[in-house]
Amino acid sequence: MVYPDRLLPRPNYRLISDIEALDSFFLQRGTPDTDIIDPITHTIKPKYISFQTGHLHDLSTNLIGIFLPEDRFWRIIGENKEYFTRELWPVGEAIEAPSYPDDFEHVDTLGAIYLPINKLNGLSIPYDKEGQDGFTAICKVLHTPVRSNFWHFSLRWFNEEGDALHQKGSWKKRMLTSARAALIEFGAISEPEVQKIDIPLYT
């Protein structure tokens, strides 16, 4: 079994900073199975939206385009999992493909949620200002490639003090709820149309 070469970063690739150019694209969020929809509300079950543990601590997604919906079935495992999936790819570094069976497996029972970038990037959540901590939380879509997947993107939440990930207690809770709420509000399980990504965006 061979890991798809098109998912790997290449030394001539660069970070995609122009997220607005991807407005019509969708992000895919993998889920442990396909039982994603709550039968009562017909919305996504909240427990399927959880933050990464480990180094990145954010909401991990894949940009659908060169990364295809079925690419979620490639799952990195083993001793090199940290290296391939939890450390960011140092831009310019040449990568050796994960090898089978030590580094990856193919699990075709995983589910997925699809998220429109134009709904999430810049989404502003107005926390009430009558309390002592009035502020707005803003969602940003960031390109955060890892060694096994150049098309890895993260959802992060920012306030006036910066990235909420680096702030204490209550902010993380607000961020978690806002992320879950936004993904339930805008997420869908139907596969979006796969669009072509302009090469100059990332080379």
Partner 1 sequence: MLTITPDLPPTGTEGLEYFFQQSPEPEARGELFVFNTTEYLQAGSFSTDIAHQDILRQFQRRYDQLTLLFKKRWEQGQSAFSGISHKEVFKRSVSLAVFILLTNPEKISVDVTPDATVFFTALYAEENAYVEAHFAPDEETEVVFNIYRKGVPVLAHGGEFDPAVNQYIQYFAKK
Other CB atoms within a 10 A radius of the CB of residue 195 amount to: 13
Please say which residue, 102 or 185, places its beta carbon nearer to partner 1. 185
Q: Considering the complex, what minimum distance in angstroms separates the CB of residue 176 from partner 1?
A: 6
Instruction: Find the binding residues for partner 1 in span 55-94 (CB under 8 A).
Output: none
Here's the x/- map for partner 1, 117-156, by CB under 8 A: it reads as --x---xxxxxx--x-x---x-------------------
- 184 scored as a contact of partner 1 (CB under 8 A): yes
Cβ–Cβ < 8 Å for 179, 59: yes
Tokens of residue 136, six digits: 């707005």
Q: Hey, is 6 helix, strand or coil?
A: helix
Write phi, then psi, for 69 (nearest 5 degrees): -50, -40
Least distance CB 197 / partner 1 (angstroms): 26
Interatomic CA distance for residues 30 and 68, integer angstroms: 12
Q: How far is CA 102 from CA 36, 73, 89, in A?
A: 30, 16, 20
Task: Report, in Å, the least distance between residue 83 CB and partner 1.
Answer: 25
Work out which of 1, 33, 41, 108 binds partner 1, going by CB under 8 A: 41
Q: Does 33 bind partner 1 (CB under 8 A)?
A: no
